[in-house]
Amino acid sequence: MALPTLEMDGKRLVLLTEEAFAELMEKAGVLPPLPPADKRGAREALPFADAAIARKLISRRIKSGLTQKELAKRAGVRLETICRLEAGKHAPTRETMARIEVVLTKAGV
């Protein structure tokens, strides 16, 4: 399979779709996996929602260039809260998500 490449600053870069990149990040353990689909393609709603929130949060945080610690500090939440959210093991409150949203929006993502 040939992937499109480009050269920048003397380095050869491989171009991936966002979907392919997300798949690689999941395989690498960076993104929590989505729950498996049943025979009809349906997934359990709450585990899916937790994983989807986690994946979006991780992607936006990485795009913003913030560490988990920096995001927690700027949002006024505990580092453990960010870690649990990104692991997909914690359902965020509206207040927590609002605080995180303000930080990520200010960061331009």
CA pair distance 101, 28, nearest whole angstrom = 26
pLDDT at 89: 83
CA pair distance 83, 5, nearest whole angstrom = 34
Among all chains, which residue has been given the structure tokens 């399979």?
A: 1
Torsion sign (Cα): 62, 64, 67, 73: negative
CA pair distance 109, 5, nearest whole angstrom = 25
Fold of 46-109: 434 Repressor (Amino-terminal Domain) (1.10.260)
Among all chains, which residue has been given the structure tokens 């490449």?
A: 5
pLDDT along the chain (109 residues), means of 10: 87 88 84 92 93 93 95 97 92 94 93
